[in-house]
A and B are shown apart, each in its own frame.
Chain A
Amino acid sequence: MRDIFEILGIPRGFRVDLRLLEERHRELTRLLHPDRHAAGGAAARRMALEKTIEVNDAWRTLKDPSRRAGWMLKERGIDLGETGSHASSQYLPPGFLVEVMERREAFDEVRAAKDVAKAEALARDVKAEREETLEALAQAFDRDDFEEAARRLAVLRYQERLLGEVRAFEDAMFEENHG
Chain B
Amino acid sequence: MAESGLLQIRDPSRPYGKPVGIDLGTTNSLVAHVDGEGRTHTIPVEADGSKLLPSVVHYLEDGSTEVGRSAKAKLSTHPHETISSVKRFVGKGPDDPETRKLGHYRFHTQEGDAIVRFDVGSKVVSPVEVSAEILKALRRKAEAALDMKVGAAVITVPAYFDDAQRQATKDAGRLAGLEVLRLINEPTAAAVAYGLDRRARGTFAVYDLGGGTFDVSILQLVEGVFEVKSTSGDSALGGDDFDRALAGVLLDQISAALGRDLAADPFAVQAAMAAARAAKHELTERDVADAVVRLPERTVEVEVTRAQFESLIASLVQRTAVACRRALKDADLEASQIDGVVLVGGSTRLPLVRRFVAEIFGGKEPLGDIDPDQVVAMGAAIQADALAGTPREDLLLLDVIPLSLGVETMGGVVEKLIHRNSTIPTSAAQIFTTYADGQTGMDIHVLQGERELVQDCRSLARFRLEGIPPMAANSGRVQVTFAVDADGILEVSAKELTTGVEQKVVVQPSHGLTDEQIEDMLIASLEYAEEDVSVRLVAEARVEAERVLHDLHKALAVDAALLQPGEREAIQAAEDALRRTMTGADHDRINVAISDLDHASAGFARRRMERAIQGALAGHSIQEFE
Which A residues form the contact surface with B (CB < 8 A)?
9, 24, 26-44, 47-49, 51-53, 56-57, 59-60, 167, 171, 174-175, 178-179
- A-B complex: 5 closest residue pairs judged by Cβ atoms: A9-B617, A41-B548, A43-B598, A38-B387, A178-B318
Q: Interface stretch among B87-95, B117-125, B437-445, B600-608?
A: B600-608
In the complex, 22 of the A-B residue pairs with CB atoms within 8 angstroms, ordered by the A residue number, are A27-B616, A28-B613, A30-B225, A31-B622, A33-B398, A34-B486, A36-B625, A39-B626, A42-B595, A42-B598, A43-B598, A43-B599, A47-B609, A49-B486, A56-B422, A56-B423, A56-B424, A60-B426, A167-B329, A171-B329, A175-B322, A178-B318
Question: Which residue among A38, A60, A174 has the maximum number of chain B CB atoms within 10 Å of its CB?
Answer: A38
**What is the CA–CA distance of A36 and B182 in the complex, to the nearest angstrom?**
12
Contact A179 to B425, CB < 8 A, known contacts A24-B617, A34-B485, A40-B626: no
Cβ-defined partner of A174 (8 Å) among B322, B544, B551 = B322
Given contact pairs A33-B396, A56-B424, A178-B318, A42 touches B387 in the complex (Cβ within 8 A)? no
- Flag B514-558 by CB within 8 Å of A: 1 or 0 each: 000000000000000000000000000000100110011000000
Kindly state the interface size class of chain B when it binds its partner: 35 or more
Which residues of the partner chain A approach B397 to less than 8 Å between Cβ atoms?
35
Q: Are A35 and B625 in contact (CB under 8 A)?
A: no
Per-residue A-contact encoding for B380-392, CB less than 8 Å = 1, 0 else: 0001001110010
Q: With an 8 A cutoff between CB atoms, is B181 at the interface?
A: yes
**Is B486 touching A33 in the complex (CB atoms < 8 A)?**
yes
- Nearest CB to that of A8 among chain B residues? B617
Give complex CA distance A9, B396 in Å: 21
* B222 interfacial contact with A, CB 8 Å: yes
- Given known pairs A34-B425, A49-B425, A178-B319, the reply for A39 and B551 (CB within 8 Å) is yes
Q: Is the CB of B181 within 8 A of A38?
A: yes
Q: Are B325 and A174 in contact (CB under 8 A)?
A: yes
Bound-state Cα–Cα, A36 to B319, Å: 38
- Across the interface, do A42 and B605 meet the contact criterion of CB distance under 8 Å? no
Residues on B with C-beta less than 8 A from A47 are 602, 605-606, 609
A27 to B613, CA, bound (A): 9
Cα A47 to Cα B602 in complex, Å, equals 9
Report the nearest B residue to A46, measured CB to CB.
Answer: B598
With A33-B398, A43-B602, A51-B613 already in contact, 9 other A-B pairs whose C-beta atoms are closer than 8 Å = A28-B613, A28-B617, A31-B616, A35-B486, A42-B595, A43-B548, A49-B485, A56-B424, A167-B329
Q: Specify the chain A residue showing the minimal Cβ separation from B487.
A: A34
Question: Which residues 308-349 of B have a CB within 8 angstroms of A?
Answer: 315, 318-319, 321-322, 325-326, 329
Rounded to whole angstroms, the CA-CA distance of A35 and B383 in the bound complex is 9
Q: Are A32 and B609 in contact (CB under 8 A)?
A: yes
Q: How far is the CA of A8 from the CA of B225 in the complex (A)?
A: 18
Residues of B contacting A56 in the complex (Cβ-Cβ under 8 angstroms): 422-426
CB of B480, distance to nearest CB on chain A (Å): 15
- Shortest distance from the beta carbon of A106 to any chain B beta carbon, whole Å: 22
A36–B388 CA distance with the chains assembled, in angstroms: 10
Pick the most buried of A36, A167, A171: most chain B CB atoms within 10 A of its CB: A36
Q: Is there an interface contact between A38 and B551, defined as CB atoms closer than 8 Å?
A: no
Interface residue B483 (Cβ < 8 Å from any Cβ of A): yes
In the assembled complex, the CB of A161 is this many whole angstroms from the nearest CB of chain B, namely 14
Q: Is the pair A41, B598 in contact by a Cβ cutoff of 8 Å?
A: yes
B598: chain A residues within 8 A (beta carbon): 41-43
Which of B322, B552, B602, B622 meets A178, CB within 8 Å?
B322
Once the chains are docked, how many angstroms separate the CA of A59 from the CA of B227? 14
State the CA gap A37–B227 with chains docked (Å): 19
**Closest CB in chain B relative to A155 CB, distance in Å:** 21
CA distance A174 to B329 in the complex (A): 13
- B421–chain A nearest beta-carbon distance, Å: 10
Residue from the set B13, B315, B486, B625 with the largest chain A CB neighbour count within 10 Å = B486
Closest to B618 in A: A9
Nearest opposing residue in chain A for B184, CB measure = A35
B594 within 8 A of A: yes
Task: Flag whether B612 is at the interface (Cβ < 8 A).
Answer: yes
CA–CA, A103 and B398, complex, Å: 39
Q: Give the residues in chain B near A31, CB-CB below 8 Å.
A: 612-613, 616, 622, 625
The answer to whether B616 and A28 have CB atoms under 8 Å apart is yes
Bound Cα distance from A78 to B319, whole angstroms? 45
A32 touching B626 in the complex, CB below 8 Å, given contacts A38-B388, A39-B391: no
Residues of A near B599 (CB, < 8 A) are 43
Tell me the bound Cα distance from A60 to B398 in angstroms: 14
Q: How far is the CB of A113 from chain B (nearest CB, A)?
A: 22
B626 to nearest A CB, angstroms?
A: 7
Question: Using a CB-CB cutoff of 8 Å, which residues 138-177 of chain B contact chain A?
Answer: none
Given A28-B616, A47-B606, A60-B426, A39:B388 Cβ within 8 A: yes
Complex interface residues of chain B between 582 and 626 (CB less than 8 A to chain A)? 594-595, 598-599, 601-602, 605-606, 609, 612-613, 616-617, 622, 625-626
Q: Which B residues lie within 8 Å of A40 (CB)?
A: 547, 551, 626
Instruction: Report Cα–Cα, A122/B612, bound state, in Å.
Output: 49
**Considering the complex, which residues of chain B in the window 360-396 have a beta carbon less than 8 Å from any beta carbon of chain A?**
383, 386-388, 391, 393, 396
Q: Is B284 at the interface (CB under 8 A from chain A)? A: no
Chain B residues with CB under 8 Å of A52's CB are 425, 486
Please, how many angstroms separate the alpha-carbon atoms of A21 and B602 in the complex?
Answer: 29
Instruction: Write the B272-316 contact mask toward A (1 if CB under 8 angstroms, else 0).
Output: 000000000000000000000000000000000000000000010
> Within 8 Å CB of A32, what residues of B?
609, 613
Given A35-B182, A174-B322: A43 in contact with B427 (beta carbons within 8 A): no
Chain A residues within 8 Å of B622, by CB? 27, 30-31
Query: Assuming the A-B contacts A31-B613, A51-B609, are A42 and B544 also in contact, with contact meaning beta carbons closer than 8 angstroms in the complex?
Result: yes
* A50 → chain B closest CB, angstroms: 9
Question: Once the chains are docked, how many angstroms separate the CA of A71 from the CA of B39?
Answer: 47
* Bound: A39/B544 CA distance, A: 10
Q: Is the CB of A29 within 8 A of B387?
A: no
Across the two chains, which residue of chain A brings its CB closest to B387?
Answer: A38
Which residues from chain A contact B609 at a C-beta distance below 8 Å? 32, 47-48, 51
Instruction: Report Cα–Cα, A32/B182, bound state, in Å.
Output: 16
Q: Which of A33, A44, A175 contacts B551 (CB 8 A)?
A: A44
Minimum CB–CB distance for B184 against chain A, Å: 10
- Given known A41-B547, A42-B548, A47-B609, contact A29–B396 (CB-CB < 8 A): yes
Known A-B contacts A30-B622, A38-B181, A44-B551; the reply to A60 vs B425 at CB < 8 A is: no
Residues of B within 8 A of A37 (CB): 626
Residue of B nearest to A37 (CB): B626
Closest to B182 in A: A35
Q: Closest CB-CB distance, A22 to chain B, in whole Å?
A: 8
Q: Which residue of B lies closest to A9 (CB)?
A: B617
- Scoring A48, A51, A178 by chain B CB atoms within 10 A of each residue's CB, the highest score goes to A178
Chain A nearest Cβ from B41, distance in angstroms: 22
Name the B residues within 8 Å of A48 (CB-CB).
609
Q: Which of A27, A60, A171, A174 contacts B422 (CB 8 A)?
A: A60
Bound-state Cα–Cα, A60 to B605, Å: 26
Query: Nearest-CB distance from B264 to chain A (Å)?
Result: 28
